[in-house]
Amino acid sequence: MQSNIPLAERLRPQTLDEYIGQSHLVGPDGVFRKFLETGNVPSFILWGPPGVGKTTLARLVATSLDRRMFTLSAISSGVKEVREVIEQARKSQFFNAPAPFLFIDEIHRFTKSQQDSLLGAVEQGIVTLIGATTENPSFEVISPLLSRCQVYVLKAMDENDLQKLLDRALRVDPILKTRQVEVKETNALFRFSGGDARKLLNIIDILSNATEGTIVISDRNVTDCLQQNIALYDKNGEQHYDVISAFIKSVRGSDPNAAIYYLARMLSGGEDPKFIARRLVILAAEDIGLANPNALLLANACFDTVHKIGMPEARIPLAEATIYLATSPKSNSAYQAIGAALQLVGHDTTDRPVPLHIRNAPTSLMKELGYGANYKYAHDYEGHFTEQEFMPEGLEGRRFYEPGENPREEELARRIQTLWKGKY
């Protein structure tokens, strides 16, 4: 017995109790539980990777509160469609009835003018906006709109969530309940899912439709079945996460030819050029860093240019930045330094006050208490440097920054050694 309705749609949760994952949002103390208890729902944006339940969560809020929800897709809707929906929402207002929801999928694809057309309706309470995006809203949503929305971050499903989803599918789905299913191994199933609930259920669908008799879920069966049905598994035919991973590793590994190849694969597959440009900015800071600080400037210029000109011309600055970063000397010293400092701060149970002499003293009382006393203003000294202690007590001499092995940072290391006379 087969169904034309995909398993992911058949299993779509009808209540928050059926919703799997995102316990920080939908758990007993989660904000979405409070939404349903009080009925007070602000405009909000759901930010997270594909297949983690953004659309489902939006629908659950609307249906649980019995409020109308208009739906638009940023891919197929323009300013005209937005205004038509807002007008419908305006006409549907009665007395003190709460505003209907306006759900916009992939809101990051809306242009500035499209987002501007939403502002008035959100401000006036004509609609309560719910946006869903896979991209950082800080980059993709205009500031006036973002300031009127709460942003909630959804996480990729972990192995425990995926196991719960698999168990629910086998227990609840009316089609699978009529089949004999044997679960031998789940490593490949979970790995290919990549934290995406929809992908996991699509894989089970493919196995079910490709198998007569007992459905055996094993690493080999999953791998073999996906190799034969790759178009079904990956609708874009580009294996998004694998290709971006290969691109990043090629730039990090200083191979400009491989990096350009994977850039071409992403652009040919319809990848958002702004997504690639953002990755280049991150690469410049994380993997090149202080070995060549100009890399971050060029990557940021590429990001701005791609925003301004779009495709197909955006391929040129993307190629230029990719080759520059791939052929640049590499250092992850800044990345390692902030990681080491954050680890110490995150696990340090000692309350370490800032030394008095480097505290700010805006009031006379603070000055009387010794704030800022004996601070040495570096520019008053030869070479604009004088030795004094900046670390809190107990961390004197602690090193977080380890200069990389490249000409620029070797020069920085010599300067640090000269100034601090071996302290660092």
- C-alpha–C-alpha distance, residues 318 and 320, integer Å: 5
- Residue 318: pLDDT band with limits 50, 70, 90: very high
- C-alpha–C-alpha distance, residues 363 and 48, integer Å: 45
Q: What pLDDT sits at residue 191?
A: 85
Answer whether residue 7 is part of any domain. no
Answer whether residue 333 is part of any domain. no
- 177, 202, 233 - which closes a domain: 233
Q: What pLDDT sits at residue 77?
A: 75
Q: What is the CATH number of the domain that holds 98?
A: 3.40.50.300
Pair 27, 148 in one domain: yes
Higher-pLDDT residue of 42 and 351 is 42
* In contact, 201 and 175? CB cutoff 8 Å: no
Backbone angles phi, psi at 271, to 5 degrees: -60, 145
- C-alpha–C-alpha distance, residues 281 and 303, integer Å: 7
**Residue 230: is its pLDDT beyond 60?**
no
**Residue 309: is its pLDDT beyond 80?**
yes
Percent of the chain with pLDDT over 70: 95
Pair 46, 61 in one domain: yes
- Residue 241: pLDDT band with limits 50, 70, 90: low
Q: What pLDDT sits at residue 322?
A: 96
**Residue 259: is its pLDDT beyond 90?**
yes
- C-alpha–C-alpha distance, residues 14 and 25, integer Å: 17
Percent of the chain with pLDDT over 90: 37
Pair 116, 199 in one domain: no
Q: What is the CATH number of the domain that holds 196?
A: 1.10.8.60
Q: CA triplet 11, 17, 20: central angle to 5 degrees?
A: 55
pLDDT digits 0-9 by tens, 322-362: 999 999 999 999 999 999 998 888 888 787 888 989 888 88
Pair 229, 252 in one domain: no
**Residue 125: is its pLDDT beyond 90?**
no
CA 243 to chain centre: 17
Calculate mean pLDDT across residues 4-14.
Answer: 86
Q: Which two tokens stand for residue 62?
A: 């609307």
Pair 224, 273 in one domain: no
42 prior amide bond cis, ω within 30: no
* In contact, 116 and 83? CB cutoff 8 Å: no
- Residue 236: pLDDT band with limits 50, 70, 90: very low
Report how far apart, in Å, the C-alpha atoms of 144 and of each of 96, 138, 255 are.
Answer: 26, 11, 41
Q: What pLDDT sits at residue 297?
A: 97
Calculate mean pLDDT across residues 91-107.
Answer: 83
Q: What pLDDT sits at residue 76?
A: 74
Q: What pLDDT sits at residue 327?
A: 94
Lowest-confidence segment of 136-140, 284-288, 300-304 by average pLDDT:
136-140
For all residues of the chain together, what is the average pLDDT?
87
Pair 137, 172 in one domain: no
Pair 281, 360 in one domain: no
Q: What pLDDT sits at residue 229?
A: 60
**Residue 75: is its pLDDT beyond 80?**
no
- Residue 193: pLDDT band with limits 50, 70, 90: confident
Answer whether residue 410 is part of any domain. yes
H or E element, residue 15: none
Calculate mean pLDDT across residues 351-376.
Answer: 87
Pair 65, 146 in one domain: yes
Which range has the top average pLDDT, 92-106, 108-122, 330-344?
A: 330-344
Calculate mean pLDDT across residues 60-67.
Answer: 91
* In contact, 6 and 51? CB cutoff 8 Å: no
Q: What domain count does the chain have?
A: 4
Q: What pLDDT sits at residue 51?
A: 84
Range of the domain at 316: 240-327
Answer whether residue 174 is part of any domain. yes
Q: What is the CATH number of the domain that holds 393?
A: 1.10.3710
Calculate mean pLDDT across residues 159-177.
Answer: 92
Q: What pLDDT sits at residue 235?
A: 45
Answer whether residue 35 is part of any domain. yes
- 124, 153, 182 - which closes a domain: 153
Is 416 strand, coil or helix?
helix
Pair 172, 202 in one domain: yes
**What is this structure's pTM?**
0.57
Q: What pLDDT sits at residue 333?
A: 93
Q: Residue 359: exposed, middle, or buried by beta-carbon count in 10 A (0-12, 13-18, 19+)? A: middle
Q: What pLDDT sits at residue 276?
A: 92
From 228, 152, 238, 165, select the one nearest 199 (Cα to Cα): 165
Pair 294, 224 in one domain: no
Return the beta strands (E) in 40-170 as ranges.
Answer: 44-47, 69-73, 101-105, 128-133, 150-153
* In contact, 37 and 81? CB cutoff 8 Å: no
Lowest-confidence segment of 1-5, 21-25, 104-108, 232-236 by average pLDDT:
232-236
Q: What pLDDT sits at residue 198?
A: 87
- C-alpha–C-alpha distance, residues 215 and 228, integer Å: 16
Answer whether residue 122 is part of any domain. yes
Q: Residue 174: exposed, middle, or buried by beta-carbon count in 10 A (0-12, 13-18, 19+)? A: exposed
Answer whether residue 334 is part of any domain. no
Q: What pLDDT sits at residue 290?
A: 94
Pair 118, 192 in one domain: no
Which range has the top average pLDDT, 20-24, 180-184, 299-303?
A: 299-303
- 153, 182, 213 - which closes a domain: 153
- C-alpha–C-alpha distance, residues 339 and 223, integer Å: 36
- C-alpha–C-alpha distance, residues 299 and 277, integer Å: 7
Answer whether residue 14 is part of any domain. no
Pair 140, 34 in one domain: yes
